[in-house]
Structure 1
């Protein structure tokens, strides 16, 4: 199983590392993690993967007056690169529930733009329950 992710504050990195260890221990499935950042060399993807993306937006309320993606654009560009998005099995979003409609909005926008499913969400660094729930979703999606 392969996970592409972008982590700005470290929350997403922490979550996917714990998720990979959990999946290995519970399901005996090896997870390859690939962090995308502004210095990443873009490569063609040839195998299926999942995308994990936090939400960072500039201005607006995410409903009727703006929701410009900031800081995570490199992931969008990577998915667009040579149509890498074709191999994405789905996106998992994270954010802060205090931001109401903007919670996980970046992941939802990716799902709409690239036509892959929005599979799950978690808040900030996620909980043990999030690890269990999201690992089950990923395992089911690769079956």
Structure 2
């Protein structure tokens, strides 16, 4: 889901990066596929900040335009298979940067993993790709890194 195309662009570039490592990614753009379906495998959500005006502190924390993702998450309890969410946005919006993803993490009870700005840098692609690969390894110690650490 991306009004400006930044998040879609990032996910496409991340998918290409992971393909060079022989990792197949199945991405669903819920904006392009608005009818929810059951998701059987664990997944990560990517969500840009979509908020109604304000500053994200005293006001401007009302989510807009992201109801399609909420519908997907609620449908067939898909949120239970969401292992985390990655936020994006524009740091110029200060407290509103990636706020929608943080709200979703709180609302659905899955971790807020990390964020990237706008279309993300190549470093973001590598960093987030490594995070996803570390989690996907079938070892007992595999766990999401703490983004606050």
TM superposition outliers: structure 1 runs of 4+ over 3 Å: none
| Contact 1:38 1:74 (C-alpha < 8 Å) held by counterparts | no
Structure 2 counterpart of 1:40: 34
Single out whichever of 61-70 and 46-55 deviates more from structure 2: 61-70
Tell me what 2:81 maps to: 87
In the alignment, the residues of structure 2 paired with residue 28 and residue 65 of structure 1 have an alpha-carbon distance, to the nearest angstrom, of 45
Q: Which residue of 2 aligns with 1:65?
A: 59
| Distance in 2 of aligned mates of 1:67 and 1:77 | 20
1:14 corresponds to 2:14: no
TM-score, normalised to structure 2's length? 0.87
What is the CA-CA distance between 1:94 and the residue it aligns to?
A: 0.4
Question: What do the CA deviations read for 1:76-122 (whole angstroms, capped 9, x no partner)?
Answer: 12111121100111101100000101100011011111111111100
How big is each residue's C-alpha offset from its partner over 1:66-85, in whole Å with a ceiling of 9 and x where there is no partner? Answer: 41111122111211112110
What value does the CA root-mean-square deviation take over the aligned residues?
1.3
Aligned residues: 137
Structure 1 gaps of 5+ residues are 1-5
Q: Structure 2 matches for 1:1-143, cutoff 5 A?
A: 6-25=1-20, 27-37=21-31, 40-143=34-137
Structure number with the higher strand fraction is 1
**Partner deviation per Cα, 1:20-51 (whole Å, 9 max, x = no partner):** 010111x3111111110176211011111110
What CA distance in whole angstroms lies between the structure 2 residues aligned with 1:128 and 1:134? 10
Using a 3 Å threshold, how does the CA distance of structure 1 residues 40 and 24 change in structure 2: closer, same or farther? same
Q: CA deviation at 1:142?
A: 1.9
TM-score under structure 1 length normalisation: 0.90
3-state SS of the aligned residue for 2:94? helix
